């Protein structure tokens, strides 16, 4: 099987119509967790679906010594373990593996980048990669600056020949706070132009997140009620039942704000709250997302403890499994005050959303894995039924389920069959799996392919990243200087987070959804 057959129906009808041009794709940190779990399985699945050009070369760049064959062997194991499609098809794999190369070097060693350049240029001549270069920074964020500088010093920031391209994908978190995000933007802009930079937030590559655009802007019926006149409040939940899964060292630096809130959660919020863009175009969409973030007033430091709740998981039970506390995880300090949970109430001060509270929560070691956006509508203005017939506290809720059980449901009151007039809430459900009978691609598949195609809509722009850090700055500053109001750990694994989070929403007469 060659890598250049007609695309399968999986992606037909989406914005992808064309095969990307051949390129050298260099993965920095190719021995790492992300490359194993996500990047290589994504590339293999793209190859399987015939979305990759035959002239694609994957070059692993990492510290450990390895031959090309050993690198391909490692990647095969990763694909066997983590690909959504298995077993691996030998013909597809052999073709793909023949295009894998390994460049052993530390990131500090300029010679390693000189060797990389020679390899890329040789591939351009001998393997038809046409001067196109795609760099993927899949390393700890502390390595980004040195890699970017070395790429610039070696002249690898420029494409190989006329009409070709050089692009760089930078993983989240982009910066550690507002200042470091600005520094990183500055540094990367010294070497690459903004249109070469693809800041990745894999949530934007999820089918259900992309569907938010379609749901809102391809249907006429929702837009008229998508505002403060009809919506009581919005809840966004990103809940994971897993803990830090061996990434204690990373998490000690990141915490939930840098891992989830600044990126995944803020993006979901923007997709729900933004104004309709004039066109479905990267910059028009990013402009609208930025306007949303600019309308979120950052909390004054003194208000942080009133409107933001932080938590850290203790021991407990998730399902039938007893799990250890965050402080007992590998590479975590036994007295760590790093947050693994955050809840916040935000308001978006513009004409559409004035007065509508947004309750946000995200955390690890909660009872189940679920990401959803719940839009709760205001009650009917005048009830002609008695409270016994139609309970007034049963609101209409539109739930956008990002994962799992991807879909959308609308909750409304319906008459219970029988001679008496009684109502009960029921759901009208759209379920992705049963409506389309097809498996969705992984977010990384969509995003890697988009980058190869030069399609930046699902990536974040420099000002977008800085604006979101700006909202979080007072929270992070306050947390850095002040201990948590509750003693950590303050929630048991397998529960819905600290009690203060309930207080945050209940003080308003509302409550978190019981998911
Ligand atoms: C990553 C976070 O960005 O997203 C992880 O670093 C988290 O902590 C993961 O587990 C969740 O992604 P998904 O696609 O499985 O929801």
Hey, whose CA ends up nearest to atom 2 of ligand 1? 259
Cα angle 128-133-136, degrees, rounded to a multiple of 5 = 130
**Does any ligand 1 atom lie closer than 6 A to the CB of residue 455?**
no
Q: Is the CB of 74 under 6 A from ligand 1?
A: no
The DSSP-derived string for 57-80 is: EEEEEESS---HHHHHHHHHHHHH
Give the atom of ligand 1 at the shortest distance from the alpha carbon of 263: 3
Query: Nearest residue CA, atom 3 of ligand 1?
Result: 259
Distance in Å, CA 390 to ligand 1 centroid: 41
Best residue for ligand 1 mutational test, from 240, 262, 458 (most atoms within 8 Å of Cβ)? 240
DSSP 215-261: HHHS-TTTGGGSSTTTEEEEEEEEE-SS--TT-HHHHHHHHHIIIII
Does the C-beta of 259 come closer than 6 Å to ligand 1? yes
Q: Is the CB of 201 under 6 A from ligand 1?
A: no
For residue 514, give every residue at least 6 positions away whose Cβ sits within 8 Å of its Cβ, in sequence order, or none.
Answer: none
For the entire predicted model, the pTM comes to: 0.92
Cα–Cα distance for residue pair 456/192, rounded to 1 Å: 15
Give me the phi and psi of 11, to 5 degrees please: -110, 0
Report the DSSP beta bridge partners of residue 363.
239, 341
Tokens of 298: 């950052």
| Nearest residue to 366 via CA among 311, 307, 306 | 311
pLDDT for 386 equals 82
Contact yes or no for 496/366 (Cβ under 8 A): yes
Q: Is 202 a catalytic residue?
A: no
Q: Give the integer Cα–Cα distance in Å for 170 and 447.
A: 12
Question: How far does Cα 224 stand from its chain's mean position?
Answer: 28
Distance 297 CA to ligand 1 centre (A): 27
The stretches in the chain having pLDDT less than 70 are: 1-17, 392-393
Instruction: Give ∠ CA 201-204-209 in degrees, rounded to 5.
Output: 150
Per-residue pLDDT of 40-72, as tens digits, reads 999 999 999 999 998 999 999 999 999 999 999
Is residue 298 within 8 A of residue 308, CB to CB? The reply is no
N residues, the chain:
515
CA 369 to ligand 1: nearest atom: 16
Q: How buried is residue 224: exposed, middle or buried, by Cβ count under 10 Å (0-12/13-18/19+)? A: exposed
Q: For ligand 1, what atom is nearest to the CA of residue 172?
A: 3
From the list 202, 264, 382, 393, the catalytic residue is 264
Ligand 1: residue of 84, 202, 441 to mutate (most ligand atoms within 8 A of CB) is 202
Q: Tens digit of pLDDT for each residue in 292-347?
A: 999 998 999 889 999 999 999 999 999 999 999 999 999 999 999 999 999 999 99
Omega before residue 124 within 30° of 0, cis = no
Kindly state if the Cβ of 177 falls inside 6 Å of ligand 1.
no
Q: For residues 175 and 476, what is the distance between their CA atoms, to the nearest angstrom?
A: 13
Confirm if 58 and 74 have CB atoms less than 8 A apart: no
pLDDT at 9: 36
DSSP string spanning 426-481?
A: EEEEEEHHHHH-SPPPPHHHHHHHHHHHT--TTSB-HHHHHHHHHHHHHHHHHHHH
Strand 313-318 and strand 231-239: the pairing is unpaired
Cα 110 to middle of ligand 1, angstroms: 33
d(CA 154, CA 197): 18
Per-residue pLDDT, 393: 67
CA separation for the pair 205, 198 (Å, rounded)? 13
* Residues 436, 441, 447, 448, CA torsion sign: negative
């Amino acid at each position: 099987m060659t890598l250049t057959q007609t695309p399968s129906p999986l992606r037909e009808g989406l914005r992808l119509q064309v095969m990307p041009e051949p390129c050298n794709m260099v993965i920095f940190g190719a021995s790492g967790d992300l490359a194993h779990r996500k990047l290589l399985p994504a590339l293999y699945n793209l190859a399987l679906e015939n979305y990759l050009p035959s002239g694609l070369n994957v070059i692993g760049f990492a510290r450990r010594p390895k031959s090309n064959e050993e690198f391909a062997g490692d990647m095969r194991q990763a694909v066997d373990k983590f690909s959504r499609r298995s077993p691996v098809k030998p013909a597809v794999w052999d073709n793909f593996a023949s295009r894998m190369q390994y460049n052993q070097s530390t990131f500090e060693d300029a010679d390693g980048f000189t060797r990389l350049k020679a390899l890329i240029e040789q591939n351009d001549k001998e393997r038809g990669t046409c001067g196109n270069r795609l760099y993927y920074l899949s390393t700890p964020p502390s390595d980004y600056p040195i890699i970017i500088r070395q790429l610039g010093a070696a002249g690898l920031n420029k494409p190989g020949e006329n009409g070709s391209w050089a692009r760089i994908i930078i993983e989240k978190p982009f910066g550690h706070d507002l200042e470091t995000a600005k520094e990183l933007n500055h540094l990367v802009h010294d070497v690459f132009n903004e249109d070469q930079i693809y800041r990745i937030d894999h949530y934007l590559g999820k089918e259900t997140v992309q569907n938010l655009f379609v749901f809102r802007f391809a249907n006429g019926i929702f837009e008229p009620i998508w505002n403060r006149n009809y919506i009581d409040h919005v809840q966004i939940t990103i809940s994971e039942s897993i803990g830090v899964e061996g990434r204690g060292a990373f998490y000690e630096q990141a915490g939930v704000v840098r891992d989830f809130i600044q990126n995944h959660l803020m993006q979901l919020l923007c997709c729900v709250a933004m104004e309709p863009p004039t066109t479905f175009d990267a910059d028009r969409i990013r402009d609208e997302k930025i306007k949303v973030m600019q309308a979120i007033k950052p909390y004054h430091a003194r208000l942080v403890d009133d409107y933001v709740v932080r938590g850290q998981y203790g021991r407990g039970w998730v399902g039938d499994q007893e799990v250890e506390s965050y402080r007992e995880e590998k590479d975590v300090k036994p007295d760590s005050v790093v947050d693994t949970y955050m809840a916040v109430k935000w308001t978006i001060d513009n004409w559409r959303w004035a007065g509508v509270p947004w309750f946000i929560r995200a955390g690890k070691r909660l009872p189940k894995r679920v990401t959803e956006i719940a839009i709760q509508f205001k009650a009917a203005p005048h009830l002609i039924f008695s409270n016994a017939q139609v309970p007034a506290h049963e609101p209409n809720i539109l739930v956008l389920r990002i994962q799992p059980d991807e879909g959308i449901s609308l909750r409304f009151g319906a008459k219970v069959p029988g001679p008496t007039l009684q109502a009960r809430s029921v759901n009208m459900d759209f379920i992705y799996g049963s409506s389309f009978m097809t498996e969705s691609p992984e977010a990384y598949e969509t995003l890697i392919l988009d980058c190869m195609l030069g399609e930046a809509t699902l990536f974040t722009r420099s000002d977008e990243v800085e604006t979101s850090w700006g909202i979080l700055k007072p929270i992070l500053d306050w947390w850095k200087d002040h201990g948590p109001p509750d003693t950590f750990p303050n929630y048991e694994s397998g529960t819905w987070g600290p009690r203060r989070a309930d207080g945050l929403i209940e003080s308003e007469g509302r409550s978190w959804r019981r998911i």
